[in-house]
Chain A
């Protein structure tokens, strides 16, 4: 099974080139919006990609003078990193040259070979701390193929006359029809859809149980040493800069999917860092054991998400690609996983006041929403390979593919037909 991976590049921009680079990014944004995205398409493996301009601000929004502006690239792709970088360095070369020409130390015009480009990009690569895939193992071509299959079968169901037939008969007829189609031969091979790994969960439970006394003491320390004096942002949504939110909204709800980028600043001190790192490990374990079928902590709309620490662990980047609107997404966060998100994000500056690490925080709805917007940064360019598909659609399509060629009983055939 080909796995999906994240690539994060954080590249310093040449001083004085910020405005030029921004103008180019806006041009690319307009092109992508107008459907010009061959460069991304040409690799055939990119699910999502984005660029942001990272301005070195502190938690109060003041520019820190010692770090310059950086160009951050993020992609979600199929296969190995080396192949992905090669793809970017060859098929996207004109694109990469233009953008990274504004960045520090990019090879001069005469020196731009595939190897040099690749070497340049990988120099700025940052390893993620945790990464979530909504539909693990589903490659881009597969997602598209399976959707074609679903649409084809849906059309059969829509136009056929099925009166008097049993679900089993209908399933058989659909199967035969598809078997006769040259274009769908690939679908005969069923794919493995990951399931919950119970052994891992049990192991995780045992480890947590053993560590419980330490965890309790740790949380008490966090509470008495930090939580009561940490300064929350304290704004309500109406008090967040209108111009900032307007800029974010300009690039939202253009399709039925959206992107979310946050730049967070860690609270000072080793204890907060250790807490965050421990929770990242915990999240990683849950992602590989439990959140394997389209839901991250119960949220059923996330295609990909990642957490990346940069700047000597002083800043954390969070990226996600999700279905629906910002309000729905943030609401889901509070409703479904307020504790988890509070545990992780409360180690960053100005988070709404928490109690014992996991309570308060995100459950303080008004202040949490304001805080979320405050630390969100505009995404300059965003590319999505399948804006018309929700993560639920993608997962459902995989089940359709598998169940179409399986021998079903009447009850299973009924369930299969309800997938359309």
Chain B
């Protein structure tokens, strides 16, 4: 097993900063490249790496493609970054794949879209509470001028029990990077190259990495690439970060569940409503997996990730095939493959998820679902091959309605289209005996408000970028 250079890897990819309750993501634009590079140089020492167990604050940095260009990285070198990153999340084809159409189309985004001010880099500031985070941010902010200008601030937080706004405990199942020293279920251990460049991936090859085609800056700082081309490697210990701001329609969500499960007299049947929402999610609000508790939420707070589907529920009778959990990580029951083969294949489509919530810190339920103002989730994930990992999961597993043997079933949580086109049904099938139950007329409860693909460099690479 390869050992990871932990002190060179920015912390957020391996550690979730669970105790950092408040975060501010500052989307920045490079105004003066020389001064911006000075900012990087002055602050690179404060960037949180994996070995740095910060108690009060964390700081991580990531760059868009135009940001790297604005700092002075030559086009000939930018060309070695993956096409997905270079094109960005807003290309027309990508919009079709990701489902960013209609009210989720990049044209109506608040940031990252073609009509928005360009984002060059993102400063991710975390604090153990709001005040700590914001006072740390204020110190950094004083150094922005004249190099950097704020485009937008995105404040986020974690809620008690780590719930998201619809009311479900989130972020339970995560891949574990081999060599990172973290513990968990054996099936979750994934080769480092799926998340970090410079290491072998699940195909046992080195992921595409941005090498330096043309010498510039202090190349002495950079290592040679692992694949052995003899070129300097800007990517080693770095990753690609996908960020999407997703507004959640909590009211619409619970009204839909209530409507589909109402009593004969029209009143809300809260128990059935939660059950339907949980069947769609694949976990109960407590986080307990539906495949282990098919009928009722055991309550409390669950971190249970020790389960597979083939042994517990090959027919989908407990946890429906179309549920968000089972689609976006089919574990050992992928298509009609055997358990071992399934695990081998699904390991090639994992992402490291990081979510922060924004807006009123309210958690929805069948009888209480009206948060104040806009609420949502800042979805973030890390991967080295955006096409094979994040985009594959979003399209092939979530949006694509033909998943498994299904006909018209998108992921009920994150794959439903607002306007599926004339005559196109969108359903959720609950496998049951003798007859399945069908929830028809699914609606979209998530609207994309912004997003970008970032390069999440190693500490070394941040340092290098400051020498351009």
Q: A residues bordering B, Cβ < 8 Å?
A: 150, 154, 157-158, 160, 162, 165-167, 170, 236-240, 242, 245-246, 249-250, 252-254, 256, 300, 323-325, 327-328, 331, 334-335, 363-366, 388, 390, 392-393, 396, 413-414, 417-420
Contacts and interface: CB of A to CB of B under 8 A. Distances in A.
B207 A335 contact: no
Nearest to B81: A238
A364 B392 contact: no
B271 interface: no
Given A324-B400, A392-B402, A157 B407 contact: no
A254 B14 CA distance: 37
Interface string B63-93: 0000000000000000111110011000111
A162 B435 contact: yes
Given A335-B348, A365-B203, A418 B436 contact: yes
Contact of A237 (B83, B335, B405, B431): B83
A87 B340 CA distance: 49
Q: Which of B92, B335, B402 has the most CB of A within 10 A?
A: B402
B424 to A, nearest CB: 7
A336 B445 CA distance: 36
A420 B438 CA distance: 10
A334 B205 CA distance: 13
B434 A413 contact: yes
A334 B385 CA distance: 16
Interface string B206-222: 11101000000000000
B388 interface: yes
B433 A414 contact: yes
30 contacts: A160-B435, A162-B435, A237-B83, A237-B208, A238-B82, A238-B86, A242-B83, A246-B87, A249-B91, A253-B97, A253-B395, A254-B96, A300-B335, A327-B391, A327-B396, A328-B392, A331-B348, A331-B392, A335-B348, A365-B201, A366-B205, A366-B206, A392-B402, A393-B407, A414-B433, A417-B434, A417-B436, A418-B315, A419-B405, A420-B436
Given A238-B210, A256-B400, 9 more contacts: A162-B435, A166-B434, A323-B402, A325-B396, A334-B203, A366-B206, A393-B402, A417-B433, A417-B436
B286 to A, nearest CB: 30
Contacts, number: 108
Contact of A365 (B205, B210, B396, B405): B205
Nearest to B317: A418
B345 interface: yes
B438 to A, nearest CB: 5
A198 to B, nearest CB: 21
A300 B336 contact: yes
Contacts of A167: 433-434
B214 to A, nearest CB: 14
A366 B424 contact: no
Q: How large is the interface on B (under 10, 10 to 19, 20 to 34, 35 or more residues)?
A: 35 or more
Contacts of B82: 237-238
Contacts of A325: 97, 392, 395-396, 400
B187 interface: no
Given A158-B440, A366-B207, A366-B208, A324 B402 contact: yes
Interface of B: 79-83, 86-87, 91-93, 96-97, 201, 203, 205-208, 210, 315, 335-336, 345, 348, 387-388, 391-392, 395-396, 400-402, 405, 407, 424, 431, 433-436, 438, 440
Given A253-B93, A393-B407, A242 B86 contact: yes
Q: Which of A162, A323, A396, A418 has the most CB of B within 10 A?
A: A418
A300 B207 CA distance: 27
B436 A324 contact: no
Nearest to B316: A418
B434 A170 contact: yes
Contacts of B81: 238
Contact of B434 (A158, A165, A254, A364): A165
Given A324-B400, A325-B395, A335-B345, A238 B83 contact: yes
A418 B431 contact: yes
Nearest to A165: B434
Contacts of A392: 402, 405
Given A334-B203, A393-B407, A238 B80 contact: yes
A252 B434 contact: no
A390 B92 CA distance: 24
A162 B97 contact: no
Contacts of A238: 79-83, 86, 208, 210
Contacts of B80: 238-239
Q: Which of A150, A252, A253 has the most CB of B within 10 A?
A: A253
Contact of B438 (A157, A254, A393): A157
Nearest to A334: B203
Contacts of B348: 331, 335
B434 A250 contact: no
Contacts of B438: 154, 157-158
A417 B446 CA distance: 33
Contacts of A250: 92-93
Contacts of B201: 365
Contact of B436 (A157, A334, A393): A157
Nearest to B204: A363
Nearest to B396: A328
A419 to B, nearest CB: 8
Contacts of A388: 424
Nearest to A241: B83
B330 to A, nearest CB: 13
Given A249-B93, A256-B401, A396-B405, A414 B434 contact: yes
Contacts of B395: 253, 325, 327-328
B208 A236 contact: yes
B394 to A, nearest CB: 10
Contact of A327 (B205, B206, B388, B431): B388
Nearest to B345: A335
A363 B97 CA distance: 26
A413 B434 CA distance: 9
Contacts of B315: 418
Nearest to B336: A300
Nearest to B92: A250
A294 B336 CA distance: 13
A245 B440 CA distance: 37
Contacts of B387: 237, 327
A237 B209 CA distance: 10
Contacts of A413: 434
Contacts of A245: 83
Q: Can you list the 7 inter-chain pairs with the closest CB atoms, starting with the nearest?
A: A167-B434, A365-B203, A249-B93, A390-B402, A236-B208, A328-B396, A162-B435
A256 B91 CA distance: 19
Contacts of B203: 334, 363, 365-366
A138 to B, nearest CB: 17
Nearest to A254: B96
